[in-house]
Amino acid sequence: PGFGMTERVSGSPYPVLKRETKELAEVMYPFNEAINQEIPGLMVAHIAVPVIDDAKDRPASMSSALITTILRDRWGFDGVVVTDDVGFFENVPGINPSEAVVRSLMAGCDAAIYLNTDRAAIMTVCDALRTAVTNDVRNGDSLFVDQLLKSAARLDALTQKLQVEHRLKGQGLPEFDTAADSGKAATDSLETQTEETDVPTPSDDSSAEESGTHEPLTPQSSSTPVVDEELTPPAPPAAP
């Protein structure tokens, strides 16, 4: 929200929206009204919003305070949430597109846009997701898996909506040499992994290093916004 009013702040790799709660509510009014009109999807940008999430190195696209607490819980949005192009993180120190995708999905996004069409780059993202799912199940915590299943349901619903209402025909996923290479195994096994007692381990110990996830990624400890006030956008001004 409010991308046009962001500023560059020393120490933050992201544009920062420095606005107080009242001003931010006005900026977010169009999004709230779009949700009221049942818009099917929203995109979150790679900008920091300190009044909502005080971590200056955590953009809106990775903020559970914005995505889960405000969009989902307070505003009741059950449509699809996607990130802006994660190729942005190819030039951000300390993080890469693969880690950005995992963190965004953990924060509540349903999908991430990645404009890089290089097969190796895409497979690196798939490997990072597979590792995150495996770690989630190994630790006896199915929160991330459950979240991915809900996201898959939202994406399926949006696909059907577009096909029925707009007669759009998707081309589907590209064909790969093997199911494992396509990353399809990671999503197809989400339901079965939660039922298995023995959790499969990655065949290559270096997969986590190659994917850019230097340590297991865990959901943010708190999704409560910094501000205590309700971010309830004001009513639109009366017509003259």
**Of all residues in the chain, what percent carry a pLDDT higher than 70?**
67
Q: DSSP 3-state assignment of 112?
A: strand
How many C-beta atoms lie closer than 10 Å to residue 76's C-beta? 9
Q: Where are the alpha helices (DSSP H) in the chain?
A: 21-36, 64, 97-107, 119-138, 143-166, 179-182, 184-188, 190-193, 207-211
- Low-confidence winner among 99-103, 138-142, 180-184 (lowest mean pLDDT): 180-184
Give the pLDDT score at 200. Answer: 45
pLDDT(6) > 70: yes
**What is the pTM (predicted TM-score) of this model?**
0.69
What's the whole-number mean pLDDT along residues 166-186? 55
Instruction: Check residues 136 and 207 and name the one with the higher pLDDT.
Output: 136
**pLDDT for the residue 182:** 43
Per-residue pLDDT, averaged over 99-128, amounts to: 94
φ, ψ (nearest 5 deg) of residue 24: -65, -35
pLDDT at 1: 57
Q: How many CB atoms lie within 10 A of CB 101?
A: 28
Q: How confident is the model at residue 170 (pLDDT cuts 50, 70, 90)?
A: low
Choose the weakest-confidence range: 45-54, 59-68, 164-173, 206-215. Answer: 206-215
**pLDDT exceeds cutoff 50 at 147:** yes
What backbone torsions phi and psi does residue 170 show, to the nearest 5 degrees?
-70, 150
Q: What value does the mean pLDDT take over residues 48-75?
A: 87
Q: Higher confidence at residue 204 or residue 106? A: 106
The pLDDT assigned to 119 comes to 94
At residue 20, the 3 state secondary structure works out as coil
Check whether 232 has a pLDDT greater than 70.
no
Q: Is the pLDDT of residue 96 over 90?
A: yes
